[in-house]
Amino acid sequence: MIPNFFGADFAHTWPIYAIGLIAYLIGSIPFGLLLTHIAGLGDIRNIGSGNIGTTNVLRTGHKGLALTTLALDVSKGVAATLGAGMYGPDCAWIAGLFVVVGHMFPVWLKFQGGKGVATTMGVIFTVSWTVGVVVAVIWLLVVLLMRFASLGAIIAIPSSPALLAALLVYQRNGELPSWLPGEPLYISLFGFLTALVLARHYGNIRRLLRDKEPRVFARRS
């Protein structure tokens, strides 16, 4: 199920387009780039993988800065989706999609942004914190066991549509409480976000298959 705004009159749908634009602009704030610049570390795009996200900020050796980047990138997804959600699930759907698009393709950086994992997690947590917790645990377990941040994202994020669908089925059968948040509409949102995250990790997938992907928290000899 996908929100249908394109068949309606523009006079009634322009707020939806405005929400999408605002969400995109929120997502396009490059916190990793700004924080490393403020910290005097130079341009994060010239360090490590060149990505502006948390994993590459961690490669600077500043764990606190990486944690701050993570928190702020997650907060983008939370703020955009939570704010738009005040006007209904359809608005939250649009905001959730476009805040991640903004993070991945920011106009200020010639559309060369991050991989969108943290911001996607913020969206997932906001619309269904139950699914968000499970996805976060999956990501953390993969990273701790395999020491590949990219592999954690590649496994965890695609699990979100199935997890939400399972939650809704169990709720319908009375096996889980109905107050746990989740809407059928968001299954398609999670599907779109999964496609975007996997597309942005294409290079990581190739390096993983060739055993050339850099690890995080590498063991010291």
- Does residue 215 sit within a domain? no
- Does residue 25 sit within a domain? yes
pLDDT band at 221 (very low <50, low <70, confident <90, very high): very low
Reading the block at residue 174, the tokens are 């009375």
- In tens, the pLDDT along 60-110 reads 888 999 999 999 999 999 999 999 999 999 999 999 999 999 999 999 999
Looking at every residue in the chain, the average pLDDT score rounds to: 92
Domain range for 176 is 10-209
- Does residue 3 sit within a domain? no
- Does residue 5 sit within a domain? no
Given a contact cutoff of 8 angstroms between Cβ atoms, the answer to whether 53 and 72 are in contact is no
Given a contact cutoff of 8 angstroms between Cβ atoms, the answer to whether 194 and 164 are in contact is no
How far is CA 92 from each of CA 52, 83, 99, 107, 115, rounded to the nearest angstrom? Answer: 25, 8, 10, 22, 21
Given a contact cutoff of 8 angstroms between Cβ atoms, the answer to whether 112 and 208 are in contact is no
Average pLDDT over residues 125-153: 96
Helices 149-156 and 129-146: crossing angle in degrees, nearest 10, is 140
Q: What pLDDT is stored for residue 127 in this prediction?
A: 96
Q: Is the pLDDT of residue 18 over 50?
A: yes
- Does residue 23 sit within a domain? yes
- Does residue 4 sit within a domain? no
Domain count within the chain = 1
Beta strands in 71-146 (DSSP E): none
- Does residue 220 sit within a domain? no
Closest by CA position to 152, among listed 203, 215, 219: 215
- Does residue 92 sit within a domain? yes
Whole-model pTM: value is 0.91
Q: Is the pLDDT of residue 12 over 80?
A: no
